[in-house]
Amino acid sequence: MSAAHPGRKPPRVGDQPLFRRSLIALVLIIGALLILAPLIVIGFEAFSEGWRVYASTLVHPDTRHAIFLTVVTALIAVPINTIFGVAAAWAITKFDFPGRRFLLVVIEIPFSISPIVAGVAYLFVYGLQGYLGPLFDAYDVKVLFALPGIVLASMFVTAPFVARELIPLMQAQGRDLEEAATSLGASGWRTFFSVTLPNIKWALLYGVVLCNARVMGEFGAVSVVSGNIRGQTNTLPLHIELLYHDYQAAGAFASASILAVIAVFTIIAKVALERQGAGRVRRPALSAPVVPAVEPKP
């Protein structure tokens, strides 16, 4: 076996121009067929019957209620999941406690369970034949086939998004800055708002954007717990399905265009947040934390 030349770098996969160009072309073709083509079709079909049909679909009471219910669900579920994600990431990365690995596994559960299975599970917990259903029914509290059930299902599906964005970043940052702030006399909340939050704000916003997009587009779990009642418990994805089943293809695509626009804005926000957050990589990793001075206690 001949020895390798000392000044020659080992060959890498894809160094050949033909292989590299073929791989790029394959990725572009698959991306165009799987991602761009459906979005283009949604745009064309939404206006296939003209602006009047498109506008009449969007101002229809059922469509407006579906949009309203979707927005209300996001306004409730996203802040709660944001608080949960920050708390979970802070607990996992800043403290050592029994069950830490188990908490990581629990956070990942919604990614490994089908949303429809999660919706059925909620039926067995909060339904009239479930474990907690009779208790809520005794106090005339309606969970399933109402807004609370929709919010619960949406929260379950989107629970990991914020935590998954924060945990790797906070693990890489370590605990030195928080410990330094605490040694200078800062309280726990002051340490969080002055040290921890500024270092995770871009990842936090990124997780919130993804969580919001997922809530607005959730279908499987919500379809089980909402009852799919037109004009009452229909979110926008469920409303699109009903329109399509009623052979109102133009109306279905018109409603779907709203979710497509949300997806586009989500991508734009994602790119902007990635560019803003990239600046933290260039900062010195061991820079001293900026903590407001705290007078020593007597």
pLDDT (tens digit per residue) in 176-221 = 777 787 777 777 788 888 888 888 888 888 889 889 888 988 888 8
Any domain includes 268: yes
Confirm whether 19 is domain-assigned.
no
Distance CA 144, CA 152 (A): 9
Instruction: For residue 124, give its domain range.
Output: 49-280
CATH of the domain at 118: 1.10.3720.10
Question: What is the reported pLDDT for 296?
Answer: 44
Judge whether 181 lies within some domain: yes
pLDDT per position as a tens digit, 31-66: 888 888 888 888 888 888 888 888 888 888 888 999
Contact (Cβ atoms closer than 8 angstroms) between residue 40 and residue 46 = no
Q: Is residue 192 part of a domain?
A: yes
Domain assignment present for 38: no
Q: Using 50, 70 and 90 to split pLDDT, how confident is the model at 141?
A: confident
Q: Please state the domain count of the chain.
A: 1
Place of tokens 């708002």: 193
Q: Give the DSSP H/E element, type plus range, for residue 209.
A: helix 197-217
Higher-pLDDT residue of 9 and 286 is: 9
In a domain, 4, yes or no: no
CB 176 within 8 A of CB 287: no
Over residues 166-180, the mean pLDDT reads 83
pTM of the model: 0.78
- Token pair belonging to 195: 């040290």
Question: Can you give the pLDDT at residue 277?
Answer: 62
pLDDT band at 10 (very low <50, low <70, confident <90, very high): low
280: DSSP letter: G
Conformational region of residue 144, where left means phi above 0, alpha means psi within -120 to 50, and beta covers everything else: beta
At 219, list the tokens.
């279908």
pLDDT number for residue 134: 84
C-alpha dist (Å) from residue 61 to 43, 58, 67, 72, 129? 22, 8, 10, 16, 33
Q: Which two tokens stand for residue 125?
A: 């917990």
- Let me know if residue 9 belongs to a domain: no
State residue 4's pLDDT score: 52
SS3 113: coil
Asked whether residue 27 is assigned to any structural domain, the reply reads: no
